[in-house]
Structure 1
Amino acid sequence: MRRKDRNLDELAALEIIDKCEYAVISCVDDDGRVFSIPISIAREGMSVYIHGAVAGSKARLFKDGKDVKMVCVSYNKVPKHTDAEFEAMKDDGARLGSRVFTTEYKSAIAKTKVYQVTDDANKIEALRLLCKKYTPEYMSAFETAAMHGLKATSIYEFKIQSLSAKAKIL
């Protein structure tokens, strides 16, 4: 990482993963092309889970042990300043670049290996994690939905091999 002053530790990286609305996963397909897709994620320990259809790009690509990178952003904001703050900086190029024409953010990159989850009990637990994150208010109907869609749903576990994270907060 070039900007060591923005480096975050592993605990902060895991928090970014937990708080992101979605992640983008990327890998190389069998033809050497980059495949990237935004996905909903949920983490437990050093594993991140996603769901998908039983057929399609993810089903073709995510062979056990495939290397996949996951990018998560939990915070992204262009800073806002009062008129007085802006007036005090408007003739200072360095301050403008670092405090006005910039973005505050928190991001993490996980290098992972992906594995398909095939055991029904483990698939249900992964689905439970996802639903608790994205639809906690509807968990009373979780069992019905999970049982109905279980056979038509693939679950993938991304085992985190390494993490890096950084932030710029003014």
Structure 2
Amino acid sequence: MRRSEFEIKNKAIIEEILNSSEYATLALSCDNKPYSVPVNFVHDGKVVYFHGAKKGKKKEFIVSNSYAAFSIALPYSLIQSYFSSNDDLACPATQFFRSVCASGQVLIVEDYDEKVKALSLLMKKLQPEGKYKPLNQDVYTKMINATEVFRFDIENITGKLKVGQNLSQDRYEMVLDYLEKRAYNIDKETILSMKQSI
């Protein structure tokens, strides 16, 4: 297998992508039919938790085939073709990005305490300022029992980061110059990531 020049080898960067993303796309399959769905999730070590309804297509697919994959893609700047080339060709146009892909098995969480843990982690991620009663209180029992919680056990995980590290020095500096002039907020984030990845 060819190792990509964009592969993220630093596990801390993969963790940062997982922890900063609100949604992932979950890919499922049943009877050779694919199904993908965006899910709100939280990452905890080698597992990912997400929740959903007790009935529905997502649960039906998981019950039928527990093997799944999920992916996250976070965009950096869109790089127009003339940002890195003067030859008037379309080919250099690209999108800078960072992404994570994982595969593994999805299990339905039956243990009430683990459900509380998963939903608490999700709330901590989505509402870090707090301002809600802890989920281990009795007031939540009925709602937690009515909610399906899924645990995605990660078997394999990879990440990619594309921020111009494959460009020649001249083209790299040309892209930096255009991004600095355009100066969108996402361009500023892209420039920072480009400089950190040198």
Tell me the TM-score range normalised by the shorter chain.
Answer: 0.7 to 0.9
Residue 15 of structure 1 is matched in structure 2 by 16
Separation (CA, whole Å) in 2 of partners of 1:61 and 1:91: 49
Residue 44 of structure 1 is matched in structure 2 by 44
Residue 123, structure 1, aligned to residue 136, structure 2: no
Residue 89 of structure 1 is matched in structure 2 by 85
Q: Give the structure with the higher percent strand.
A: 1
Identify which of 111, 133, 154 aligns with 1:160.
154
Separation (CA, whole Å) in 1 of partners of 2:97 and 2:71: 13
Larger mean Cα displacement after TM superposition, 145-154 or 52-61 = 145-154
Deviations 1:12-38 (A, max 9, x none): 333322222210011111x32101100
Q: TM-score, normalised by structure 1?
A: 0.81
Identify which of 91, 109, 112 aligns with 2:104.
112
Could you say if the C-alpha distance between residues 166 and 139 of structure 1 is closer, same or farther in structure 2, counting changes exceeding 3 Å? Answer: same
Residue 143 of structure 2 is matched in structure 1 by 149
Deviations 1:87-139 (A, max 9, x none): x833364xx644xx210100111011111111111001000111111122344
Q: Which runs of 5+ in 2 are unaligned?
A: 165-198
Separation (CA, whole Å) in 2 of partners of 1:116 and 1:9: 31
Q: TM-score, normalised by structure 2?
A: 0.70
Does the CA-based 8 Å contact 1:132-1:139 persist in structure 2? no
Separation (CA, whole Å) in 2 of partners of 1:18 and 1:63: 27
Could you say if the C-alpha distance between residues 115 and 50 of structure 1 is closer, same or farther in structure 2, counting changes exceeding 3 Å? Answer: same
Does the CA-based 8 Å contact 1:128-1:142 persist in structure 2? yes
Does the CA-based 8 Å contact 1:117-1:156 persist in structure 2? yes
Residue 68 of structure 2 is matched in structure 1 by 68
Q: Which has the higher contact order (CA 8 A, sep 6+)?
A: 1
Deviation at 1:142, TM superposition (A): 4.3
- SS class of match (1:7): coil
Q: Report percent identity of matched pairs.
A: 27
Q: How many residues align?
A: 161
Deviation at 1:6, TM superposition (A): 0.5
Which one-letter code corresponds to 1:89 in the other structure? S
Q: Which runs of 5+ in 1 are unaligned?
A: none
Separation (CA, whole Å) in 2 of partners of 1:126 and 1:163: 20
The Cα RMSD (Å) is 2.7
